Structure 1
Amino acid sequence: MSTARLSQLRSVTTALHHHLEQSFFPEFATHRRIHPEEYQFFLQVMHAFYTSLYLQSSNFTSASFHLPIEDHVNALHKEIKQFHIPHQQESYRCPECKDEADLLGISYVLEGSRLGGAVIRKMIRKQAWYHTDLDFFYLQGSSETLGAGWRNFLEVLENTTLTAEQEIRLQMAAINTFLCLEHLMNHLRKSAMVPVPVPNKAS
């Protein structure tokens, strides 16, 4: 499904998206390789980001769309606990969510990342360090399920009536979400959070 709004969002965020993906998984595109410490760090960043959204705002539901922030926080908490990863309690700078325009811009990035997560999950299962005792919680769901959720979001994106000013804020919310994720990623790297070994396969 392609819409004018979707095309505009892709146009203004493609470079940011590629940069962030490359920062998280440097060898993914060239060698189809994801190291365990990279995936652990990805979980740390997403958990801290979603937790900050959850703590700072309650405006993630509109008449037409709901971004399940709390569900994602809980899923990420389960997964970082599984890896025995320490998580951060402090709150971070997040994009503002004042109305539906902001909600749709933020959701474009976050729901899109979960759709792309199906590819990441498939690739992780091919890595030598992966074993079947490791469960996916945040990136769970079949490609069909995630695809259906994405199509539902795109339908809302296409059919929501926005003012000209809101159209601009829709794009800015998506851009700011990518920038906030990068800011958080850099902050956590500077805090020298040490990756932990992948838990051994249960005997």
Structure 2
Amino acid sequence: MFTHVCTDRTPSPLIDTTLELTTALVPVPTASVLQQLRTATAAQHRALEARLPLTHADLDFPTYQRIIQAYYGFHSPLQRSIDQFFAAQPAHSSLVQDPARHKVPALLKDLHAMGLTDAQIQDLPQCSELPVIDSVARLLGVMYVMEGATLGGQVLRRIIADRLGIDAESGGEFLDVYGRDTGRLWKTFLRQLADFDSPRHNAEVAQSACLTFECFETWLERAGVLNDA
């Protein structure tokens, strides 16, 4: 039997110091790269989600169309940047270079469905201030944000269908871009992220994700599709 003993004596400074030193020597578990990503981007995620009108009751078709145009203006140059990275680093091409993850074709389909011509789409502004992708760590940070947003599209797809009557054939393909493969592709990405997990690189992955959120929000702000903060 153990007995809890209470005493009123004043702690010894020597004992206190010894306890501090002992505690300092106990190894602190390092957070996984996924935990670090979630913590680092949580505030940005909430802020951007609150400012996007996609879930707001007053969403109308013109606003939705402007949002899809802005998404195209970000994803199109971003995909080119990813392709350029893989072209320069072919050894990493199996990492997340899956044609099924390409979102630009779905955005093009949506823009055409909403009445834009090829010439009008080519004239849409495109983002020039993108997150730098010059390492696997930075690529994974970018992908974490983009792939996470794809998961959120599953919820938005139903909202847009209910409020605007838009489905995959009338401008909502992007919101369900992976279709039935959404869960599989997300799990595949998480496995790749876990395989790369390393104290040497995790901070860089998290920094890249934060920068991606920052670039994306800045771009949507300039496109005039965000509500006031």
What interval of TM-score do these two structures reach, taking the shorter chain for normalisation?
A: 0.7 to 0.9
What is the 5 A alignment of 1:47-196?
47-57=72-82, 58-59=84-85, 62-66=93-97, 68=99, 71-85=102-116, 86-87=120-121, 88-127=124-163, 129-131=164-166, 134-140=170-176, 144-160=180-196, 162=198, 164=200, 166-189=201-224
User: Residues of 1 paired with 2:72 and 2:154: CA distance?
Assistant: 18
Q: Which residue in 1 is equivalent to 2:66?
A: 41
Q: Which has the higher helix share?
A: 2
The alignment partner of 1:65 has SS state of: coil
User: Residues of 2 paired with 1:71 and 1:141: CA distance?
Assistant: 9
Q: Which residue in 1 is equivalent to 2:11?
A: none
Q: Structure 2 vs 1, CA of residues 135 and 41 (structure 1 numbering), >3 Å: closer, same or farther?
A: closer
User: Residues of 1 paired with 2:55 and 2:61: CA distance?
Assistant: 12
Q: Which residue in 2 is equivalent to 1:12?
A: 40
Structure-1-length-normalised TM-score: 0.77
User: Residues of 2 paired with 1:62 and 1:134: CA distance?
Assistant: 34
User: Residues of 2 paired with 1:107 and 1:51: CA distance?
Assistant: 14
CA RMSD of superposed structures (Å): 2.7
CA displacement 1:139-184 (0-9 Å, x = unmatched) = 22576521111111001101115462x2221011100111111111
8 Å CA contact 1:50, 1:69 repeated in 2:
no
Corresponding letter in the other structure for 1:167: N
Q: Structure 2 vs 1, CA of residues 186 and 89 (structure 1 numbering), >3 Å: closer, same or farther?
A: closer
Gap runs ≥5 in structure 1: 191-203
8 Å CA contact 1:24, 1:38 repeated in 2:
no
Displacement of 1:18: 1.3
Displacement of 1:100: 0.9
Structure-2-length-normalised TM-score: 0.69
The alignment partner of 1:189 has SS state of: coil
